[in-house]
Amino acid sequence: MDIAFIGLGNMGGPMALNLHKAGHDVRAFDLSAAACDRLRADGVPVAALAAEAAAGAEVVVSMLPASAHVESLYLGDAGLLAQLAAGTLLVDCSTISAATARAVAAAATARGIDCLDAPVSGGTGGAIAGTLTFMVGGPAAALERARPLLEKMGANIFHAGDAGAGQTAKICNNMLLGILMIGTSEAIALGVANGLDPKVLSEIMRRSSGGNWALEKYNPLPGVMEAAPASKGYAGGFGTDLMLKDLGLAQENAAAVRAATPLGGLARSLYAAHSLAGHGGLDFSSVIRMVQKPDRS
């Protein structure tokens, strides 16, 4: 398939590369020259503009930071939607508000363009390995068009419901992830403060009733898990500011439907404080620094 891939960051870069490796005709684009250079070095053709990447594409996939970036890419007179041919399939994998996803879908549908919100879970490891989980909102027929591509980037594909439903599922998941990373950090920090070996403690909890995804794949303490961002200076991975954005989306949504999410609200405040302390660009698992005893050795 002829695919335009817009947004080549920590997630989009490896996702675009997997489509390229699967033999699809990918033209990539990012505003960042460094991100473009990484893809070029991997042999993926890079366009000079989003519109150039999208010209003649059957499918446009985007992986951008937040709602405002998706709105500015697709909507308005200068937006990409005005330039895409009817019959194009648009798959936005960014985590954004369900309201923005629905607005983009409505504008796309009005132009005869199929549109899916398809946010992902699985982290940068899942993006590289092609084992992401996709949570898809939009028409079932559009999902069937997208499925062969999604299968090259992910291992689990769920149809959450109509336009915006993928985003709603995603913020529920990420609210839980944000909370459980803080809980896991507290438990590890408590054990370490008592002199326990963090590797042994993490393994005990992983195989006990406290077992969770952070303990399985993403231990927040440096040195416990070689492949986790914690062991790489919290570089790459899922930025604290992106987690903060998702927890904000969850709180906005909770207010709109009058849901009680006390731990989600507290988690948002803790990541906000962590970001204000200068850690917004670090992987979100660095939140363990808020509860760690200072190293006085």
Residues with catalytic annotation?
170
Q: 3-state DSSP call for residue 91? A: strand
- Which residues have a Cβ under 8 Å from the Cβ of 270 and sit 6 or more positions away? 182, 287, 290
Do residues 249 and 97 lie in contact, with contact meaning Cβ atoms separated by under 8 Å?
yes
The rounded distance, in Å, linking the Cα atoms of 215 and 213 is 5
Do residues 142 and 113 lie in contact, with contact meaning Cβ atoms separated by under 8 Å?
no
Q: Which amino acid is at 6?
A: I
Determine if 8 is a binding residue for ligand NAD (CB under 6 A).
yes
**At its nearest, how many Å lie between ligand NAD and the CB of residue 173?**
9
- Rule CB under 6 A: choose which of 3, 4, 11, 105 binds ligand NAD: 11
Region binding ligand NAD by CB under 6 A among candidate stretches 105-113, 120-128, 136-144, 191-199: 120-128
Do residues 158 and 133 lie in contact, with contact meaning Cβ atoms separated by under 8 Å?
yes
CB nearer ligand NAD, residue 142 or residue 228: 228
- Among candidates 23, 24, 28, which has minimal Cα distance to 7? 28
**At its nearest, how many Å lie between ligand NAD and the CB of residue 110?**
22
> Tokens standing for 249?
């989306």
Do residues 144 and 59 lie in contact, with contact meaning Cβ atoms separated by under 8 Å?
no
The rounded distance, in Å, linking the Cα atoms of 158 and 285 is 26
Kindly write out the interface string for residues 179-218 of this chain, putting x where it contacts ligand NAD by CB under 6 A and - elsewhere: ----------------------------------------
Kindly write out the interface string for residues 226-255 of this chain, putting x where it contacts ligand NAD by CB under 6 A and - elsewhere: -----------xx---x---x---------
Determine if 101 is a binding residue for ligand NAD (CB under 6 A).
no
Q: Which amino acid is at 295?
A: D
Determine if 175 is a binding residue for ligand NAD (CB under 6 A).
no
> Tokens standing for 190?
């408590």
CB nearer ligand NAD, residue 18 or residue 94: 94
CB nearer ligand NAD, residue 65 or residue 210: 65
- The DSSP result for 268-283, as a single string, is HHHHHHHIIIIITTSB
CB nearer ligand NAD, residue 37 or residue 144: 37
CB nearer ligand NAD, residue 68 or residue 200: 68
Report the 3 state secondary structure along 77-90.
CCCHHHCCCCCCEE
Determine if 7 is a binding residue for ligand NAD (CB under 6 A).
yes
Determine if 64 is a binding residue for ligand NAD (CB under 6 A).
yes
Determine if 73 is a binding residue for ligand NAD (CB under 6 A).
yes
Determine if 282 is a binding residue for ligand NAD (CB under 6 A).
no
Determine if 117 is a binding residue for ligand NAD (CB under 6 A).
no
- How many CA atoms, within 13 angstroms, populate the side-chain half-sphere of residue 118? 33
CB nearer ligand NAD, residue 235 or residue 277: 235
Determine if 136 is a binding residue for ligand NAD (CB under 6 A).
no
| Chain contacts with ligand NAD (rule: CB under 6 A) | 6-12, 29-32, 35, 50, 63-65, 69, 72-73, 94-95, 120-121, 123-124, 237-238, 242, 246
